[in-house]
Amino acid sequence: MINNKTKYTELIKAEAKRLGFLSCGISKAEFLEEEAPRLEAWLNKNMHGEMRYMENHFDKRLDPTKLVEDSKSVVSLLLNYYPEKEQTSESYKLSKYAYGTDYHFVIKDKLKELLYVIQNEIGEVSGRAFVDSAPVLDKAWAAKSGLGWIGKHSNLLSQKTGSFYFIAELIIDLELEYDTPTTDHCGTCTACIDACPTEAITEPYVVDGSKCISYFTIELKENIPSEFKGKFDDWMFGCDVCQDVCPWNRFSKPHSEPLFNPHPDLLAMTKKDWGDITEDTFRKVFKKSAVKRTKFSGLQRNIKFLKP
């Protein structure tokens, strides 16, 4: 006879698949012992730059029971965003995750529906959905749940689908069957370390966030330091270099989420178009996009920095 834990686990994974998630893994909600010293060392070396929020809620980042009372399980989910078509080589570049509708909205809706189904089918289950919006170490949880391993570029990697996907979590007060971590398959490869234009990957598995192009073009509110001039490889919002060169990403397949499709004008825009962009065009092309985070003035600053 199937016990309830097995039944509930199967229900959650089947529902995640129905909602379009790439994969679903489950871990016991407990203190992340291995990650604690790593996070502390990373913060002590100021590798978070101006991202001061990374210093907050240290305990909550490492212990989900401090985020959700009586939590028993962390349900980790991956959602593919790899696009069918990419920008022209004549364009300044956006990270592929930002082509379509802001993923926070898309995933939050799916997670709400997943939680609703769990409550409907199982009964009184309390929990919270997380999409990059709270102190949760999503990559660590996804790795713990067997969805992949943390690569040398510090992104989650899977042998079947590479790394072009979002990670989200449901933390719930329900005991389930737990998955086990997978093994590391980076081997001797250093493609991501060798290719990083700003040498932000200081050693395997360690990224100095304060040197990363994504940090400069999205998080940094002040002027970009002049010593990085000419090192951005035409990236105006985010950067995909370490993922683009990763051999495992040859297995990436285009997503099937219509909301992640880019605005028709986006893929056709050239460097000249970006240089001449008006606030109206910015609003039209990025109406519901994550690019709005950098604001029109931020994108203009990034484009000016890229110009020779």
Whether 184 is a known active-site residue: answer no
Catalytic hit among 132, 184, 234, 244: 132
* Whether the Cβ atoms of residue 128 and residue 170 lie closer than 8 Å to each other: yes
User: How far is Cα 225 from Cα 291, in angstroms, rounded to an integer?
Assistant: 21
Q: How many CB atoms lie within 10 A of CB 187?
A: 8
Residue pointed to by tokens 């067997």: 146
Angle 240-166-14 from CA coordinates, rounded to 5°: 145
User: How far is Cα 121 from Cα 144, in angstroms, rounded to an integer?
Assistant: 26
Residues near 166 by Cβ (< 8 Å), separated by ≥ 6?
78, 79, 81, 97, 103, 107, 131, 132
User: How far is Cα 136 from Cα 303, in angstroms, rounded to an integer?
Assistant: 32
User: How far is Cα 173 from Cα 128, in angstroms, rounded to an integer?
Assistant: 10
Residue pointed to by tokens 């931020």: 298
User: How far is Cα 266 from Cα 282, in angstroms, rounded to an integer?
Assistant: 10
How many Cα atoms within 13 Å fall on the side-chain side of residue 80? 23
Query: What phi, psi does 288 have (nearest 5°)?
Result: -120, 25
- Residues annotated as part of the active site: 132
